[in-house]
Amino acid sequence: MAYLEITLHVDPANRPAATSVYTKYKRQFLETVTGATSKELLARDEDVQVLHGFRSVADANAYLSSALFTKDVVGDLAPLLRTDPDVRVYDTV
């Protein structure tokens, strides 16, 4: 198992729009991305995190290079972000 954690710094006024991006692509992510096992949205006052589950680190890294991520998701989220997202890939041990 591997996890991709993306932390997004979004102003409170833009959170509904950021949430809609998550919702818009969740099903497509789970149904079409190789190795995808889960996708969760975690919200707190400081930021919003999207936690993606994968079968492997290679699958997580491949998603980061995919058109779904680089064109669709990033394209929709970019205008809503205060800073660049913090992207981390974790391998389970």
- Banded model confidence at residue 71, pLDDT cuts 50, 70, 90: very high
**Nearest Cα residue to 88 out of 43, 39, 55, 49:** 49
Q: Domains in the chain, start-ordered, CATH in brackets?
A: 2-91 (3.30.70.100)
In angstroms, the CA 52 to CA 61 distance is 11
Q: What is the pTM of this model?
A: 0.93
pLDDT at 46: 86
Residue 50: partners with Cβ closer than 8 Å, 6 or more residues away: 5, 6, 8, 22, 39, 40, 41, 42
Residue the block writes with tokens 């190795």:
35
| pLDDT tens digit sequence for 53-66 | 999 999 999 999 99
Is pLDDT of 24 > 90? yes
Mean pLDDT, to the nearest integer, of 70-90?
96
